[in-house]
């Protein structure tokens, strides 16, 4: 990764599928929760590839009652801890974090719930590597919210992100395109 990081740069790290590949653990958590609530022994997930989330669940099970949907989400969050061992660190992003956390502000900026973000980084012993943890907000653009709440100038920020819509949110927040590093989780090392 070609980077020109200066001491005054603030580094924003996304969590899911940027710093840590959480897709399989997320998938397994949903699978177990769906089976528990619906009793469905069929592997409805077997042909699904990519990030399995609430939208995917609604798409695959459009007739699922709202109460069951909420129970599945609750159980998925409960089971995530069990499947943390199925996550993988992205070593190239980890190397950057480890190189700069002592000299630069490093901020975890994620859309996942705070407890899940903390659980994941604690699992890898990374809690003390971040100056701040900025997790899910009820509304809007995570980058805009982080910049605003932490009173950070977008010109000083370098972003590590894997999701195109979030990259667009970073750009819309004033972060310079050349300061956004698109992380392809498929190139995960180790």
Q: What mean pLDDT is reported for the chain?
A: 89
Laid out side by side, the sheet with 105-109 consists of: 132-134, 105-109, 10-13, 157-161, 180-182
Residue 181 counted as domain residue = yes
- Rounded to two decimals, what is the model's pTM? 0.88
38: tokens are 């619906």
Say how far apart CA 88 and CA 190 lie, in whole Å. Answer: 8
Please check whether residues 183 and 133 belong to one and the same domain: yes
pLDDT digits (tens, 9 = 90+) for 22-58: 988 988 899 899 999 998 754 665 655 677 888 888 8
pLDDT of residue 47: 59
DSSP count for the chain of H helices, then E strands: 7, 7
Please check whether residues 67 and 92 belong to one and the same domain: no
pLDDT of residue 46: 61
pLDDT digits (tens, 9 = 90+) for 68-86: 999 999 999 999 999 999 9
pLDDT of residue 6: 94
Domain finish residue from 61, 85, 109: 85
Which residues constitute the domain of residue 156? 10-21+88-187
Query: For 39, left (φ over 0), alpha (ψ -120 to 50), or beta?
Result: left
Say how far apart CA 45 and CA 57 lie, in whole Å. Answer: 10
Low-confidence ranges of the chain (pLDDT < 70): 1-2, 41-49, 138, 185-190
pLDDT of residue 190: 44
Please check whether residues 122 and 149 belong to one and the same domain: yes
Say how far apart CA 163 and CA 71 lie, in whole Å. Answer: 27
Please check whether residues 16 and 79 belong to one and the same domain: no
pLDDT of residue 43: 65
Residue 80 counted as domain residue = yes
Residue 102 counted as domain residue = yes
Number of domains in the chain: 2
Please check whether residues 70 and 155 belong to one and the same domain: no
CA-nearest of 98, 68, 86 to 21 is 86
Answer whether 132's CB lies under 8 Å from 105's CB.
yes
**How many other C-beta atoms are found inside a 10 Å radius of the C-beta of residue 84?**
17
Q: Would you tell me the crossing angle of helices 23-38 and 66-80 to the nearest 10 degrees?
A: 130
Please check whether residues 74 and 98 belong to one and the same domain: no
pLDDT of residue 45: 59
pLDDT of residue 51: 78
Please check whether residues 64 and 138 belong to one and the same domain: no
Percentage of the chain exceeding pLDDT 70: 90
Say how far apart CA 77 and CA 90 lie, in whole Å. Answer: 22
Please check whether residues 17 and 28 belong to one and the same domain: no
Helix spans in the chain (H):
23-38, 54-60, 66-80, 91-100, 114-123, 142-150, 164-172
Please check whether residues 162 and 97 belong to one and the same domain: yes
């Amino acid at each position: 990764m070609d980077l020109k990081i200066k001491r005054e740069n603030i580094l924003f790290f996304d969590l899911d599928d940027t710093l840590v590949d959480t897709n399989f653990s997320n998938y397994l958590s949903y699978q177990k929760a769906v089976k528990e609530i619906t009793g469905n022994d069929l592997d409805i997930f077997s042909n699904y590839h990519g990030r399995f989330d609430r939208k995917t669940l609604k798409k695959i099970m459009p007739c699922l009652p709202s109460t069951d949907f909420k129970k599945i989400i609750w159980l998925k969050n409960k089971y995530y801890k069990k499947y943390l061992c199925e996550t993988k660190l992205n070593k190239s992003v980890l190397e950057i974090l480890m190189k700069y956390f002592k000299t630069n502000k490093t901020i975890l900026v994620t859309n996942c719930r705070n407890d899940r973000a903390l659980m994941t980084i604690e699992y890898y012993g990374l809690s003390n590597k971040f100056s701040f943890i900025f997790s899910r907000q009820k509304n809007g653009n995570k980058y805009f919210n982080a910049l605003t709440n932490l009173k950070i100038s977008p010109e000083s920020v370098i972003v590590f992100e894997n999701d195109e819509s979030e990259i667009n949110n970073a750009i819309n927040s004033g972060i310079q395109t050349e300061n956004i590093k698109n992380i392809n989780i498929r190139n995960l090392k180790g």
